Structure formats: C-alpha cells, structure tokens
C-alpha cells in the first residue's frame, strides 16, 4: 500500500528498483491493476520501474465516501502524489504514464493540467475529453453506446445490477465484449468479480461516472479540465481496438487539434479491453514506440 495524501493505493511495483525510468499504469472500469499483467513484465524487462496502482475505490485501495471524492481533479492529483512517492525512491529520469479507459480519462486530465512533469503518454481506448464530449453531443451512435453513463446516475440501482449473481454483469462485460474470450479465463474474472463485491467498492467505482456528470454541468460554465486549454504537447501514443462497442471512432475526430505529437495505432476487431484482448500486439506497439524514442 502506498500512502497518497489521506488515502492509500494498493500498488504493484516491478522492474529495477534503482532505475530512473518510471512508468505508472492506470486501469479502467471495472478493472484492476491486473489488467496490465502482460505489459508490466514487458516494461520491467526494458528497464522501467513500473508502478501500477489499484485506483481509489478499487481492490484494497481506500474507498472514500461521497461522489465528490472521485472528481477528476482529485483522481489526477492521486497520480501526481503517486509519482512523488515513486520519485522519492529513485533518481529522476524519463516518465511514462500509460492508461486505459477510466485510467485514460485521468491520464488525459493529468497531462492537460501538467500536474507533474511528464515525458510520454500512452492511452488505450479512451479519447481526449474534448473530442469525447463533442461526440456525446453530436453523435447519436455514441449517445446510444454511452447509455450506461446515464443509468449510473441513478442511486443504488446500478450497484445492485453490477454485483447481482456474483457480479455476473462484471464477468459478462469482459468476456462478452472480447474478440479473444480465451484471454479472460474464469480465474481472472473471479478476481474482478471479487473486487467488485467488496464493501463500498461498486459505489466507489460508479462514483467516477457520477462525479464526471457533475463536472460536465460545471464545464458549461467554464469550469473543468478543458478550461485549461486541453492541449497535450508531449509525445503521445494512442492504441485503439476498433471492435470497441462502448467508444466509437468518431470520439477521436479532431484529436490532432489538442494532441499535435500523436501517434495512432489501430487494432482491427479488438475489443475495448485492448491490452488484455491483444496483449502481444499492444506490447509490440508500445515497445516499438519506446524504441524509436530511444527509451
């Protein structure tokens, strides 16, 4: 457990302990840091010190009460403090933030807000907040894909639906969407289901969506991370499984306006759970991107 302000984050640590190269990996909903089980050893073997937390509300990490405890500003500051803790243990060097889904939303916000110095950003199947917001307004297809975000605003009912039947909905979310269901064995789904059923966990996990909805209302009045400009100027890699049934490709329209130093890699037919569904391909893409940068 890593102390991060007034909470603790359950964190997997791998790689050379004295390496100056630091990679922090952020999972999505309803995942855990085990979602990076294929990427952690790849990065560690390349000399990166890897920290992969269970984000607040997940696993054994702290689960503060209240929707506002899961606002994007608080979530991205958690990651800043995690970088601080990691940096206290080894000399400063190259920093990489790699993230998926909700972790990707936090990573975009982190990079936009320049919460701490960051050298590289890699995001899997999560669009930039500006292009995602635009798609939610203009694309009827994306509105239909994102129906669950509205459902999650209802008190208590979503928690019951997601955890009923030994978290049957969580299990189905992974294997039912996957291009390669064999990459989601029962023992892995058991880990996700057990974590989702811990006391307070599902409410905390869904509070990410509830806090985001509140922020969307404030954004109309000029508040929120996009008031910071939305620019991400550091080298950025976007890995995208085109079989994503939650996020359409239209959510990426106009992204170059905000991320000029962007490299995009598409994996045809691969699901939203891209780094788990096609781990070898994702590892190859990330390794090549790092190789060409000399890191």
Name the residue ranges covered by the structural domains of the chain: 2-293
Cβ neighbors of 183 (< 8 A, separation 6 or more) are: 276, 277, 279
pLDDT of residue 40: 99
Question: Radius of gyration of the chain from Cα atoms?
Answer: 18
Task: Tell me which residue has tokens 């905390």.
Answer: 204
DSSP 3-state of 52: strand
**Are 97 and 121 contacting, i.e. CB atoms less than 8 angstroms apart?**
yes
Cross-strand bridge partners of residue 12: 52
Integer Cα distance of 247 and 126 in angstroms: 8
> Averaged over 21-45, what is the pLDDT?
99
**Average pLDDT of the chain, as a whole number:** 95
Per-residue model confidence as pLDDT tens digits over 58-89:
999 999 999 999 999 999 999 999 999 999 99
- Sequence-distant (6+) residues with CB within 8 A of 266 are 240, 241, 242
With helix as H, strand as E and coil as C, how does 86-105 read?
A: HHCCCCCCCEEEEEECHHHH
**Active-site choice (78, 128, 209, 244):** 209
Active site residue 119: no
Token pair recorded at residue 271 = 């699901």
Residues 288, 229: Cα–Cα separation, whole Å: 30
58 counts as catalytic: no
Given a cut of 50, is residue 222 above it in pLDDT?
A: no
Q: How far apart are CA 94 and CA 103, in angstroms?
A: 20
Marked catalytic residue, from 27, 100, 128, 272: 272
Residue 146 pLDDT exceeds 50? yes
Is residue 223 over pLDDT 60?
A: no
Q: Which of the following is catalytic: 58, 78, 101, 128?
A: 101
Give the C-alpha separation, 184 to 71, whole Å.
30
Helix, strand or coil, per DSSP, at residue 4 = strand
Q: In this structure, what are the phi and psi dihedrals at residue 30, rounded to the nearest 5 degrees?
A: -100, 60
pLDDT digits (tens, 9 = 90+) for 89-140: 988 799 999 999 999 999 999 999 999 999 999 999 999 999 999 999 999 9
Of the candidates 253, 254, 258, 252, which has an alpha carbon nearest to the alpha carbon of residue 239?
A: 252
Q: Please indicate whether residue 220 or residue 267 has the higher confidence score (pLDDT).
A: 267
- As a whole number, mean pLDDT of residues 254-266 equals 97
Cα dihedral sign for 132, 138, 144, 149? positive
Q: What is the pLDDT of residue 226?
A: 61
Find tokens 């599902």 and name the residue. 202
101 is catalytic: yes
What is the CATH code for 2-293? 3.40.50.1820
Whether residue 237 contacts residue 123, with contact meaning beta carbons closer than 8 Å, is answered with yes
């Amino acid at each position: 457990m890593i102390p991060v302000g007034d909470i603790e984050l359950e964190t997997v640590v791998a790689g050379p302990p004295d390496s100056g190269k630091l990679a922090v990996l952020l999972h999505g909903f309803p995942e855990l840091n085990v979602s990076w089980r294929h990427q952690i050893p790849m990065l560690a073997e390349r000399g990166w010190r890897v920290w992969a937390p269970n984000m607040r509300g997940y696993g054994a990490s702290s689960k503060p009460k209240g929707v506002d405890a899961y606002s994007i500003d608080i979530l991205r500051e958690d990651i800043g403090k995690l970088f601080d803790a990691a940096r206290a243990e080894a000399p400063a060097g190259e920093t990489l933030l790699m993230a998926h889904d909700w972790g990707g939303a936090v990573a975009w916000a982190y990079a936009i807000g320049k919460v701490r110095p960051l050298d590289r950003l890699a995001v899997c199947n999560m669009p930039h907040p500006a292009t995602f917001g635009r798609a939610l307004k203009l694309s009827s297809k994306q509105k239909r894909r994102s129906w669950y975000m509205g459902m999650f605003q209802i008190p208590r009912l979503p928690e019951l639906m997601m955890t009923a039947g030994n978290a049957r909905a969580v299990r189905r979310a992974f294997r039912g969407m996957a291009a390669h269901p064999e990459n989601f064995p029962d023992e892995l789904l058991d880990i996700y289901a057990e974590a989702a059923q811990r006391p307070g966990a599902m409410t905390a996990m869904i509070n990410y969506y509830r806090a985001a909805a509140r922020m969307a209302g404030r954004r109309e009045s000029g508040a929120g991370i996009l008031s910071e400009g939305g620019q991400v100027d550091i080298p950025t890699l976007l890995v995208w499984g085109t079989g994503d049934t939650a996020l359409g490709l239209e959510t990426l329209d106009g992204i170059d306006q905000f991320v000029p130093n962007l490299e995009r890699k598409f994996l045809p037919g691969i699901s939203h759970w891209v780094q788990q569904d096609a781990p070898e391909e994702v590892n190859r893409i990330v390794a090549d991107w790092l190789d060409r940068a000399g890191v």
